[in-house]
Structure 1
Amino acid sequence: MTRFNEKSSRRVALAAMAATAAAFAAPGAFAQAAWPSKPLKIIVPYTPGGSSDIIARIISPLLSDALKTTVIVENKPGASGNMGADQTAKASDGYTILLCDVSALAISPSLYTKLPFDPSKDLKGVAMLAYSPHMLVVHPSVPANNLKELVALSKTSKIDFAVTAMGSAPHLAGFQVASLTGAKWEYIPYKGGSQAVTDTIAGQTQVLMNGMLATLPFVQQNKLKVIGVSKSTRVALLPNVPTLAEQGATGFESGTWQGILAPANMPKANIDKLSAALIAIIRSPDVRARLAAQGAEVSTMNPTEMDTFFNKERKNWSTVVAKSGLKLD
């Protein structure tokens, strides 16, 4: 993994600071300029090593430089990301934000019968950062090299499908692929993507659907074998790997959308300042290149665009959840 040198890091930080300054160029901005005046906490509601955690670790030092404050990344896994999201939604300090898979968060209201918060009301979009398609991968010993062979194998052999979390986007993506192709597999739940990947590498589970950002390195190391990607078009890093739609899962597309949300009580001026800094950082050539090398695409949205996207995803995933019949407490 490429490390930033001091010059590139300074360049990214300067771009972010310029963006935040522009966000406060209007009259009356001086009253808000003191924020932030203490450390900012980014809650990642999953175990370390997943897509959200990777992006949080990349942007946190640059955001610290841009905002001139300490930025802390804190992993709070549990309940498919809802534990950390709930903590963020109820935070009242003005210094707690959430970095998560936005699609996974959009699934929760339809999936959980006792969700302790309403993400549409209790959280606000700050900035969308990146998109990473899901990869369908298998342990190298699995005698299947494409989706057709994997589906056929699943009908004659026991196939354990590692689920990063019950009801997560990768879980429901696996359900959709099975619905479209007739595949048969047993879902094995985990508390996070990193452990699901580890067990599939070890051969304890045979199949995995996970974000490309966190999975590609293991494919490149031949520790996992790729069957297909969930994007509508082939990805540049794997031009010879067909999409799942090409292989019979007609119309199928999924992935992880990494974004930042804040409690609904955070002042708009602070959200705008934070959004400007984050978008400048993620769009910088150095960060963009680093993410692209791992299969993630920079895909930004401002707060309004992100809220619109979230509500659309919430509606779309509610249909998938209803079809699956899955409900969790």
Structure 2
Amino acid sequence: MKRRDLLQGAAALTATGTLACAPAWAQGSDYPRPDATIRYVVPFPPGGLTDVMARQIGQQLGEHWKVSVVVDNKPGGNGQIGADLVAKAAPDGNTLLAITLTHAANVTLFPKSPFSFQKDLRPVALLAGSPMLIVVPEASPIRTLKDLMEQSRMRQLNAGSSGNGTPPHLTLALFNDLNKSSIQHVPYKGGAPSMTDLIGGQLDVIFSNFPESIPHVKGGKLRALAIASKARYPSLPEVPTTAEAGMPELQVENWTGMMAPAGMPEAAVRKLGAEVLKIVSASDFEARARQQGFVVDARGPDRFAAFLTEEIARWARVIQTANIQPS
């Protein structure tokens, strides 16, 4: 056989093999492969909200699909380091990213990012949200959200957060904008030290991540003025929502979701999204999540994409109005 014929025959075999594999991959039926190890990147330290949810999802996903799912913490850069890693990973569905409200804000905070959040990553599923809780020291004369609204217009107050551009900071900025007040922002390196100073009376208020403050509220060291959600929270039934307390526009949840590299095939994304939604919608999972401070908000790729677009625009306005700069 001539060399040209051999080359044509090899090309035909290659094309045939590719086509033979294509229907299964296109339908998502061979994802994930049985020998796969799925790397679920959490761009924050272990033990936080995002990490806790990711580990539960990873464990259940591994059990359901009989594959290995490894949670890999890659903290740094306000969540940008881990996101960059996944944005540049192979789009085979074996590298996934856990994101939060922080990443929607990062689109505005980091305009010169080495990757494009909206072009290089694609939504898989929204998992859950954790409402922000507005807390003051137990000894504070501020008893209600309306007290806070009035006092912050009359005198200088300060509010701690876990850092510039974090959800507590963004919620404070939104409050200041809505209330036409100027509570001073005091950034800390993490939520725990800011809580310590609030309990000690060095701070006036924190617009807090729910799980960080609820033990201190239940322990009598902090007073919860309102919860920034649509409904009261079962474990704090006496705490009004921000709407009930006089500021209906102040609704903020520090949500978490799953993303994948942009080139991951549509069918595989939908198969993964459907499986994740099945996991988080199970009654035992929802009950456990609620105990940890989450409210399950299960949305697949399309609804999550629309939600992300809204969140990016919402926080862009707040960041620009408050002139927030990253740390």
Q: TM-score, normalised by structure 2?
A: 0.81
SS at match of 1:254: coil
Q: TM-score, normalised by structure 1?
A: 0.81
Matched, 1:274 2:272: yes
Name whichever of 62-71 and 30-39 sits farther off: 30-39
Deviation at 1:54, TM superposition (A): 2.0
Match of 2:170 in 1: 172
Match of 1:257 in 2: 255
- Deviation track 1:220-242 (CA, whole Å, cap 9, x = no partner) reads 23343212111133333322212
Match of 2:88 in 1: 90
2:124 to 102, 123, 126: 126
2: CA distance, partners of 1:98 / 1:47: 14
Runs of 5+ consecutive residues of structure 2 not aligned to the other structure: 1-22
1:50 to 44, 48, 51: 48
The verdict on how the C-alpha distance between 1:30 and 1:228 changes in structure 2, with shifts beyond 3 A counting, is: closer
- Deviation track 1:190-212 (CA, whole Å, cap 9, x = no partner) reads 34445544554565544222332
Matched, 1:301 2:299: yes
Q: Which has the larger radius of gyration?
A: 2
CA contact (8 A) 2:164 2:325 kept: no
2: CA distance, partners of 1:58 / 1:218: 25
Match of 2:225 in 1: 227
2: CA distance, partners of 1:30 / 1:309: 25
2:312 to 296, 311, 314: 314
CA contact (8 A) 1:151 1:182 kept: no
2: CA distance, partners of 1:229 / 1:33: 41
Matches within 5 A, 1:86-165: 86-92=84-90, 94=92, 95-101=94-100, 103-154=101-152, 159-165=157-163
The verdict on how the C-alpha distance between 1:107 and 1:86 changes in structure 2, with shifts beyond 3 A counting, is: same
TM-align CA RMSD: 2.9
Match of 1:292 in 2: 290
Letter in 2 for 1:136: I
SS at match of 2:84: helix
Matched, 1:188 2:186: yes
Match of 2:72 in 1: 74
CA contact (8 A) 2:26 2:265 kept: no
The verdict on how the C-alpha distance between 1:179 and 1:276 changes in structure 2, with shifts beyond 3 A counting, is: same
CA contact (8 A) 2:25 2:268 kept: no
The verdict on how the C-alpha distance between 1:318 and 1:29 changes in structure 2, with shifts beyond 3 A counting, is: closer
The verdict on how the C-alpha distance between 1:194 and 1:124 changes in structure 2, with shifts beyond 3 A counting, is: farther
The verdict on how the C-alpha distance between 1:166 and 1:27 changes in structure 2, with shifts beyond 3 A counting, is: closer
Matched, 1:246 2:250: no
Match of 1:324 in 2: 322
Letter in 1 for 2:315: W
2: CA distance, partners of 1:49 / 1:201: 22
SS at match of 2:259: strand
Letter in 2 for 1:59: I
CA contact (8 A) 1:136 1:227 kept: yes
1: CA distance, partners of 2:25 / 2:119: 30
1: CA distance, partners of 2:245 / 2:31: 53
The verdict on how the C-alpha distance between 1:286 and 1:113 changes in structure 2, with shifts beyond 3 A counting, is: same
1: CA distance, partners of 2:140 / 2:34: 51
Say how many residue pairs are matched: 304
| % identical aligned pairs | 33
Match of 1:17 in 2: none
1: CA distance, partners of 2:310 / 2:110: 18
- Deviation track 1:258-297 (CA, whole Å, cap 9, x = no partner) reads 1101111223333223222211111111111111234422
2: CA distance, partners of 1:27 / 1:250: 47
Deviation at 1:26, TM superposition (A): 8.2
